[in-house]
Structure formats: structure tokens, C-alpha cells
Amino acid sequence: MSGCVLVIDDSAAIRDQVVRTLKDVGLFGEYREAKDGMEGFKTLIESKADLVICDVEMPRMDGYKFLQLVASRPDLQGLPIIMLTGKQDFNSKIKGLEQGASDYLTKPFDSGELVARVKVQLKIKSLQDELKQANEQLKRLTNIDHLTGLFNRRYLAEILEAEFFRAKRNRESLSLVIVDIDFFKQVNDTYGHQNGDVVLASVANVVQQHLRAYDSAARYGGEEFVVVYPGTSLEGGAAAADRLRQAVLDFTFPPPLQDLTVTISAGVATYPSPLIDNIDSLFRQADEALYRAKQNGRNRVETMPA
């Protein structure tokens, strides 16, 4: 069985009993131990666990404080925590449950009950993980253009809002490039719309390959793409756009498009600038630069006025 459990208790005998009980049924592949809440929290930060069994009353840091620290970390949300307590009163149990405990077990505990409660929490966590993955997949499908694999226009608006706010707050540059495939209608007319889709997907793939980890690209509509370059000056945005232009020019398409040469035109705009005070003006400046690239012969990059 894979997975890891972290057992936190100031009693070495209790930790040993819990670990032996769980090992006997093979619920986990890795077992970690800690003597108090502070040591347990540091252990979790260093390496995540699938489930925690934690005593309530411990020196230095008790179980309640441990729960508060776990709740403060978004990366630990959903971690099942079973509390161990020698107290029988309901108030202490309610306090723990309100602070994030998943379940309670009273000491001295029955081995069978411990195993049963652990299995229940692992099952719940498994279902929650499956739901989270399904939601992430749904979000991805909602945000992605199905043909190109790039972000769609709707999600681009969210990206730009966040990046523009960040650039404004941190007083950093933000470059936006609008890319358009030259004479794309001729590709559709000559090779058919199905092969036109191959061209769109191929150009999108070239765009994707030239992104840094923190750049973003989206299909804006038809044969038009938008690339967002955070922390990039106007000169840097123009250079990135020209590298992209050259990569598309050099790209070899699969048959029956092996003899086809595709070019792109691009317009670049960058914040901050006296000409740009919001996302709309950033787009407008990039679009006007793209128009000049088309007017000046295509297969070229133009920028907004510096």
C-alpha cells in the first residue's frame, strides 16, 4: 500500500502502538512520527502526508494549535486529521472539530476502531481527490480552445486582468503581442478547412513552444493569437515576437502541406506608457501595430510608438 501517515504524540508508547496497528493491516507504505505539534507541522511542511493522527494534549504545542497551523496553509487543505484524546467531554471534541479535525478517537483506543476510522478518512480523501481532479479537468476544458490547445478568449481576459494589476502594482513592464496568420483565407481555399485547422494547430504549437513558464498565449479568434509577456519591455516583446515569426516561417507542415510556407504578422504594445492606462488601450495599441505590420507587407513585427 502506498501513502504516508504522520503520527504525532508525546508518548513513544502510543506512537509505537498506532504505527504497529496500521502496519499490521498494511494501510500505508510510509510511517512518520513526531513528538509534538511543532515537530509534526515542520514534518508536514518538509514532506506531505496522506493522513495525520495527532494527540490533543502535548507539551510545547498541543493538538489545537497544530490544527490552526494546518488550517493556515492552503497546500494542506483537505488533509484528514484524526485527534487522539484521553478526555471524554464533548466540548473538547467539538473544539477540535470546529478547528479542522476530521475525527476523534478516545484513549485507550481499540485497534479495530482505529483501523476502521483511518479507512473511512482515507476513503473520504480519495473521493475528495477524485472530485478535485474532475473539477480541475472541467476548469481546464472550460479555459482551453479545443482546436489549438491554447487558452480561449474568455480566460485571456482573466489572465490580462491579473497581469495588468500585478504590473501596475509592482511597477513592472507588461508586453502584449497580437499575432495574425497572413493570407489564411487562401490556405482554407486551397487546402480545405480541415487542413486549415492543421495550420492553426501547428502555429499554436509553435507559439506554445516559445513561451516561458510565466508567459500566456490564447487563441483570440479565427487565425489570431494573443501572447502575454509579463516583466517584458517593448524591445523584449518585439524580439520575442520576431523569434516567433521566424519559427513559424521555418516550420515544416505534414503532408499534404509539406510545400506550404506560412508567415505571421505581429503587433506589440507595452505597459507602462503614456498611451496606455488600461487593458483596452493596451489591446488597441497592439492592434494598431498589427495593422501597420499588415500594411507594410506582412511577415513582420511592428510596435506601438515608444
Active site residues: 223
Task: Please say whether the beta carbons of 58 and 36 come within 8 A.
Answer: yes
End-to-end CA distance of the chain: 61
Fill in the amino acid letter for 236.
G
DSSP class of 69: H
Distances (CA, A) of 229 to 218, 241, 251: 12, 10, 23
Contacts of 20 (CB under 8 A, 6+ apart): none
Q: Environment class of residue 123 by beta-carbon count within 10 Å: exposed (0-12), middle (13-18) or buried (19+)?
A: exposed
Q: Is the dihedral of CA 101, 103, 107, 110 positive or negative?
A: negative
Paired strand residues for 181: 264
What is d(CA 221, CA 145) in angstroms, rounded to the nearest whole number?
A: 10
- The Cα 61–Cα 100 span in angstroms is 16
Peptide bond into 256 cis (omega under 30): yes
C-alpha 207 chain-centroid distance: 20
- Locate 60 and state its grid cell: 510545547
Give the position of cell 516550420: 251
Determine the Cα–Cα distance for residues 227 and 179; give it in Å rounded to an integer: 8
179 close to 227: Cβ distance less than 8 angstroms: yes
Grid cell in block for residue 194: 480541415
Alpha carbon distance 231, 175 (integer Å)? 8
